[in-house]
Amino acid sequence: MDEDGPRPVNPAPSFTEVADLLHLGMAYQVVSWPDGRREFRSVGQRSRQLLGLEPEEAMADPSRLYERVLPEHRAALARAEELAIASVSRFDIEVRMRGLDDQVCWRRITSTPTPQPDGSVLWNGIVMDVSDARRAAERLEEQRRRLEAAVEATGLGFWEWDVRNDRVTWSERNCEMFGLPPKRTVMTIERYIALIHPDDLPLVQEAYVKTREGGGGDFVVEHRTRHQPGGLTRWVQARGRTVADAEGPALVVGTTLDISERKAVEDRRALLLGELAHRAKNGIQVMMGIVNQTARGVRTVQEFRDVLVARLSALADSQDLVMASGGRPVPLQDVVAKTLSPFGTTRFELDDLGGVTIAGEVAVALALLLHELSTNAVKYGALSQSSGRVALRRGEDAAGDVVLCWEERDGPPVRPAKRKGFGSRLLEVGLSAYGGKVEARFDPAGFTANIHFPVAAPPRP
């Protein structure tokens, strides 16, 4: 044999042969015509293992291959095929099919089109087993659901932001805290920003920017939500971690905690501390007024001592009455008498208030209001002059609530306050939480106020 002579050249293996050799999947070649006809040109040898069909069976009757697709997936497969053929574009879908021994597995079917001169289209494709990948994804999703359930069991909402793909994932609890319907909400970072209270948005952005510029890390920020249906605004605490790589932030994950109740407690505590400070200051001024008024009407030091101690004791007793109610109804007459006695009841003209009881919380608010009105009368109003008097009349409004009419007379000319202090706020909101209200008038001849409040059934013996 001539070693220098021409040698036969083996043709390059086809894609089908390569796919069989490397166990990539079942390669195939199919032709589609404009009239809807389809014909397999080749089917790989892995057809038996992946589809439970011999290659010759699939070639002879293409419908046999389509019948291996589970019925619930056939409609989706048909739609994907129609779209790919109509647009002459890549075909790619994952469906459940029956394989060897009718075992149900996940298969990925993908192919690319090559238009032919006769108007037909040649599709070169492959069917691959993706069952392991599907099972792994399902396990990961199940782990994620369990983690999310565990997090939400603590009252926390869970969120995740894929920065590179701009994809945001929120748990149901997170949606609930922001007033969104669960499971039907498509989140984006822009939508999240729109749900933050505008006054708090710079704070949230600053917290994220700091961790981003620092190459990643943790951040904690507290902010309000934008007004939700019903006018509700929640306070939430967001804890997050920014995960970054050489290209910058890639992922931000975190939790959200509803801290509205804690914030409400903090607000009430701040109001209480402010009220206590105000009451302490007013208490000193009231005691100074009591001392001055007592000194005007006595002749000896002993008499001064006795009257002063009695009035200061009455001031303490009025507080004890209110605090001791414990939320139970108390007689209105007792509340009025004990609250006003430190200011000298001879200077008050009181109607008979017997038979009227009020709830404990109303008694607390009313005592505070009467105390404030009396304090202002001592400091600025009718009781600041020896000739001044206060009349407290009982009435009833159209709704059946009791009305106490406070009328100051024979004091200095009255001018409305230039700014709202604690007393003004108390007039506006002191009884509103319990269905009451105060109608105040700054008449030049004397300050007047109609105090409306609901009554309560007397306690059972």
Give the pLDDT confidence of 359-389 residue by residue, as tens digits: 776 777 787 778 778 878 887 888 888 889 9
The pLDDT value recorded for residue 115 is: 92
Question: Which of 22-31, 110-119, 128-137, 205-214 shows the lowest mean pLDDT across its residues?
Answer: 22-31
- pLDDT of residue 202 exceeding 90, the answer is yes
The pLDDT value recorded for residue 369 is: 79
Q: H/E/C letters for each residue in the chain? A: CCCCCCCCCCCCCCHHHHHHHHCCCEEEEEEECCCCCEEEEEECCCHHHHHCCCHHHHHHCHHHHHCCECHHHHHHHHHHHHHHHHHCCCEEEEEEEECHHHCEEEEEEEEEEEECCCCCEEEEEEEEECHHHHHHHHHHHHHHHHHHHHHHHCCEEEEEEECCCCEEEECHHHHHHCCCCCCCCCCCHHHHHHCECCCCHHHHHHHHHHHHHCCCEEEEEEEEECCCHHHCCCEEEEEEEEEEECCEEEEEEEEEEECHHHHHHHHHHHHHHHHHHHHHHHHHHHHHHHHHHHHHCCCCHHHHHHHHHHHHHHHHHHHHHHHHCCCCCEEHHHHHHHHHHHHCHHHEEECCCCCCEECHHHHHHHHHHHHHHHHHHHHCCHHHCCCCEEEEEEEECCCCCEEEEEEEECCCCCCCCCCCCHHHHHHHHCCHHHCCEEEEEEECCEEEEEEEECCCCCCCC
Give percent of the chain above pLDDT 90: 15
The pLDDT value recorded for residue 146 is: 77
Nearest to 396 by CA among 358, 333, 452: 452
Q: Are 131 and 105 within 8 A, CB to CB?
A: yes
The pLDDT value recorded for residue 352 is: 87
pLDDT range class, residue 263, cuts 50, 70, 90 = confident
Nearest to 93 by CA among 40, 118, 130: 130
- pLDDT of residue 326 exceeding 70, the answer is no
Q: Can you tell me the mean pLDDT for 95-99?
A: 90
- pLDDT of residue 139 exceeding 90, the answer is no
The pLDDT value recorded for residue 310 is: 63
pLDDT tens readout for residues 34-71: 888 888 888 888 888 888 888 888 888 888 888 899 99
Top pLDDT among 217 and 322 is at 217
The pLDDT value recorded for residue 184 is: 59
- pLDDT of residue 275 exceeding 60, the answer is yes
The pLDDT value recorded for residue 235 is: 92
Question: Which of 77-91, 185-199, 252-266, 333-347 shows the lowest mean pLDDT across its residues?
Answer: 333-347
According to DSSP, the residues that pair with 169 across neighbouring strands are 160
Give percent of the chain above pLDDT 70: 79
Q: Dig out the tokens for 453 from the structure.
A: 């409040």
Top pLDDT among 269 and 91 is at 91
Q: Can you tell me the mean pLDDT for 248-272?
A: 84
The pLDDT value recorded for residue 176 is: 86
Q: Can you tell me the mean pLDDT for 398-408?
A: 83
Question: Which of 26-35, 352-361, 363-372, 434-443 shows the lowest mean pLDDT across its residues?
Answer: 363-372
The pLDDT value recorded for residue 347 is: 85
Nearest to 408 by CA among 429, 431, 432, 379: 379
Q: In what order do the strands lie in the sheet with 91-98?
A: 38-43, 26-32, 121-129, 104-115, 91-98
- pLDDT of residue 337 exceeding 90, the answer is no
Q: What's the mean per-residue pLDDT of the chain?
A: 80
Top pLDDT among 230 and 190 is at 190
- Return left, alpha or beta for 115; rule: phi > 0 is left, psi -120 to 50 is alpha, else beta: beta
How large is the greatest C-alpha to C-alpha distance in the chain, in angstroms? Answer: 151
- pLDDT of residue 264 exceeding 80, the answer is yes
The pLDDT value recorded for residue 185 is: 64
pLDDT range class, residue 316, cuts 50, 70, 90 = low
The pLDDT value recorded for residue 1 is: 47
How many Å apart are CA 159 and CA 170, to the nearest integer? 5
pLDDT range class, residue 224, cuts 50, 70, 90 = very high
The pLDDT value recorded for residue 293 is: 62
- Residue 238: exposure state from Cβ atoms within 10 A (0-12, 13-18, ≥19): buried
The pLDDT value recorded for residue 430 is: 58
pLDDT range class, residue 75, cuts 50, 70, 90 = very high
- pLDDT of residue 283 exceeding 90, the answer is no
pLDDT range class, residue 216, cuts 50, 70, 90 = confident
